């Protein structure tokens, strides 16, 4: 069974021209995420030197998430 998106890929593996039919059915944005997968906005104030160093990181959210998870795990281990 051919998937709809398979018709958009030509024999050479490249995306074919997207016609009016594609754009008539196209939707803006991405599908909504499940509530348990959504991110939560948190505003914090950090020191200027940390902000400068954080600006050099490509995916700030992933970096901060990992750093906080590591810090929480270390704090929990220190308390045990």
* CA 8, chain centre distance (Å): 25
What tokens appear for 9 in the block? 């890929």
Q: Contact at 8 Å (CB) between 57 and 67?
A: no
Identify the pLDDT of residue 4. Answer: 53
SS3 29: coil
Identify the pLDDT of residue 78. Answer: 95
Query: What are the domain boundaries of the chain?
Result: 4-31+40-79
> Going residue by residue through the chain (80 aa), what tens digit of pLDDT does each one get?
445 555 788 888 888 888 888 889 888 888 888 999 898 999 999 999 999 999 999 999 999 999 999 999 999 999 98
Identify the pLDDT of residue 2. Answer: 46
**Cα angle value 21/9/34 (rounded, 5°):** 75
Rounded distance between C-alpha atoms, residue 54 and residue 63, angstroms: 9
Q: Is the pTM of this model over 0.85?
A: no
């Amino acid at each position: 069974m051919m998937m709809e998106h398979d018709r958009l890929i030509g024999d050479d593996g490249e995306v074919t021209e997207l016609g009016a039919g594609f754009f008539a059915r196209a939707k803006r944005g991405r599908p909504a995420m499940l509530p348990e997968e959504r991110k939560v906005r948190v505003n914090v104030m950090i020191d200027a030197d940390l902000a400068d160093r954080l600006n050099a990181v490509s995916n700030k959210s992933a970096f901060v998430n990992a750093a906080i998870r590591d810090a929480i795990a270390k704090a929990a281990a220190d308390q045990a």
